[in-house]
Structure 1
Amino acid sequence: MPSNNRYFIGIDGGGTKTELVIGDETGKVILSKIGASTNLKSRKETQVRNTVHQLLKDAIPTIPEHIFVAAAGGDRREDKHRWKSWIREIVGTDSVITVENDAIAALAGTTFSKQGTVLIAGTGSIIYSFQHGAEPIRTGGWGYLLGDEGSGYDIGKRGLQAVMQAYDGRQGETALTDRILKRYGLKNPEELITFIYEHEYPRQVIASTANDVIAAVSEGDTVAGSIVETAIQELLQLIAAHRKKAQAASPIVLAGGVFQSRYFTELFRNKSDTRFNQKYEFLQAEMPPAVGAYCCALLEAGISVPDTAITTMKESYKQVQSKTKKLGAE
């Protein structure tokens, strides 16, 4: 990359993976790299630091003007400090670094701005509203031990519990048993114990099981149907609680892996129409959060993001996707 260009980095540090995007001031994405999760509540600090360092070393031929990090827990002072210190170890003091909650990147990946409301159902769950000149407003997002209701982890865990309960005879048979065992190449439910408890990334594995639960619902499995119904009601409860605090809650961007299922999203929309007197406008997430973080880096630097830049962003990101390299945890 020519050294006279201006470069900006967006980092999405999620519960399942971390993606770094680097681009110039016109909205052109030049590089995308993917690494392991950088969630400090589910991985050791040394592992997260190593992932951050590896991503930056692979991506930076020249010092970027601004780095915007959208990380799980990025709105907490301690986590902001840690992220900034790790990045400084690689880029020095020449770059401006901003660290915020990962919800802002999920929002900006669709609105290409830093204003609006986003409901995330990924590995975790949260609803966040951002408004110019005001403090962000959040509901949920308290992690897999204290919250994350309706998330991929929540759905996946309930699915696995249903398999074990069926195995015990505590509830009826479910198609989830065959689906989940096939996914992981196991012969019987007892093998799930070793597989889950001794897995390096149990939280991510459990969250990925949500795909099987949702698929089983579409095939008429009543056990899976009950799990998904509970998850949807939990997410709607987030909206119900949030709208008491946030003045403008619509439209709402739907982001995260759970909402990548058209079937789940359609069920969710229908249940929302039934539950609320107000008909909410929902927007499907358009671009990955890492692109949203890159967009935020431009905005933080005072660079406008017009329609031409948005088009450039979308087209150039698609071109570099094939070059994305998965980095393992160290």
Structure 2
Amino acid sequence: MKLIAESGSTRTEWVLVEDNNLIQRAFTEGLNPFFQTRREISRSVRLGLPELFFKKKLEQVYFYGAGCSSHEKKNILGASLVAQFKTPIQVESDLLAAARGLFKCEAGIACILGTGSNSCFYDGKIIAKNVKAGGYILGDEGSGAVMGKHFLSDVLKGLAPKDITNDFYDKFRINANEVMESVYNRPFPNRFLATVSYFLADYLNEDYVYNLITSNLRSFFTRNVCQYDYQNYPVRFVGSLAHYYAELLRETAKEFGIDLKTIEETSINGLIEYHAMNREEV
């Protein structure tokens, strides 16, 4: 039996798999070694997962996560999981999860739009090229966090429409000072910012909101996708925001001559298929 996990900054999806069959699925909070210590990760896993996940005899745990791009961060995550499951652990990035989940063993351009954003050219085995994501301060174009950041900046500066601003303050039960507190002094500001981005979906008929979202998506294509050979390889997307704004994402892709056929909410089903093929090389 295998345990496969895919984690963004907001949520982690865990699946127990035996002979390509899904046995049980569970969700916990997002795990990210950039924002959490080894002890905090261990505690989150132990308290968040059902006891069944610790009682099953596992041959391997495959964990794919945001923030797991360097050996140092992989080791933090791996040590936390070994302590909980007492079994071999393979920790890889959420970007490799996207590539394997979207393309299995085929070549293509894999893109993530969720709380954060990322992209790569995957040659069917490895990530052959990656335009660095930059995080929600220096990059993450098109992500929920960056959309939320741009909207809140407009709200604080009085540039967002007043009715949308008032609705935001009312629905979130928050004021300008608390916005600043949530972004600068509370844990996981990227999660807060991403939550704000989904609020905008109720106002897509407003030119301000439509333009804010599409300009962010356009920025993702311009600054990321266009740096790959996107005219000769398929482009596919995964992530909560990509799924949520799929129609606008497809419209924006067409501006770049891209026929976007595949948009998945998560990579987990593709990862189950990938690991059933016994292709475990990195």
Same fold (TM over 0.5): yes
Over the residues paired in the alignment, what is the CA RMSD in angstroms?
Answer: 2.7
Partner of residue 79 from structure 1, selected from 53, 73, 77 = 73
For the residues of structure 2 that align with 1:172 and 1:10, how far apart are their CA atoms?
42
Partner residue of 1:231?
216
CA distance in 2, matches of 1:135, 1:255: 16
Computing the radius of gyration from Cα coordinates, the structure with the larger value is: 1
What TM-score, normalized by structure 2, do the two folds share?
Answer: 0.85
Letter of the 2:70 counterpart: R
Please say if residues 121 and 152 of structure 1, whose CA atoms lie closer than 8 Å, have aligned partners that are also in contact.
Answer: yes
Task: Give unpaired runs (5+ residues) of structure 2.
Answer: none
Q: Which residue does 2:246 correspond to in 1? A: 265
What is the deviation of 1:24? 0.5
Q: Deviations over 1:140-162 (max 9, x none)?
A: 32222322111100000111111
Instruction: Pick closer, same or farther for the CA change 1:296–1:48 going to 2, 3 Å.
Output: farther
Structure 1 residue 109: Cα displacement? 4.1
CA distance in 2, matches of 1:300, 1:141: 29
2:127 and 2:242 map into 1 onto residues whose CA distance is: 26
Find the partner of 2:14 among 10, 20, 32.
Answer: 20
The C-alpha deviation readout for 1:231-289, integer Å capped at 9, x for no partner, is 0121111110122xx79531x2221121122xx3323322332234xx4343121x633
Aligned equivalent of 2:236: 253
Which of 162, 166, 175 aligns to 1:178? It is 166
Name the CA distance, whole Å, in 2 between partners of 1:172 and 1:210.
Answer: 14
**TM alignment of 1:57-96, pairs within 5 A:** 58=51, 59-92=53-86, 95-96=87-88
Instruction: Find the aligned partners of 2:199 and 2:106 in 1 and give their Cα distance.
Output: 34
Residues in 1 aligned to 2:48 and 2:105: alpha-carbon distance in whole angstroms: 25
Amino acid at match of 1:233: R
The separation in 1 between residues aligned to 2:278 and 2:162, in whole angstroms, is 50
Match of 1:100 in 2: 92
Q: Distance in 1 between matches of 2:266 and 2:185?
A: 30
> How big is each residue's C-alpha offset from its partner over 1:42-63, in whole Å with a ceiling of 9 and x where there is no partner?
3344322322344567313222
Match of 1:165 in 2: 157
3-state SS of paired residue (1:60): helix
**Distance in structure 2 (CA, Å) of the matches to 1:17 and 1:294:** 18
Aligned residues: 278
Shift of 1:228: 1.5
Give CA-to-partner distance per residue, 1:186-241, whole Å, 9 cap, x none. 3x43443345445443220111111123432x22142x233223201211111101
SS at match of 2:226: helix
Q: Aligned AA for 1:32?
A: R
Q: Please give the secondary structure, in 1, of the residue aligned with 2:255.
A: helix
Mapped contact 1:66–1:301 kept (Cα < 8 A): no
Higher relative contact order (CA 8 A, sep 6+): 1
- The secondary structure found in structure 1 opposite 2:115 is coil
Give the counterpart letter for 1:267 in structure 2. Answer: L
Q: Normalising by structure 1, report the TM-score.
A: 0.74
Q: Are 1:138 and 2:130 counterparts?
A: yes
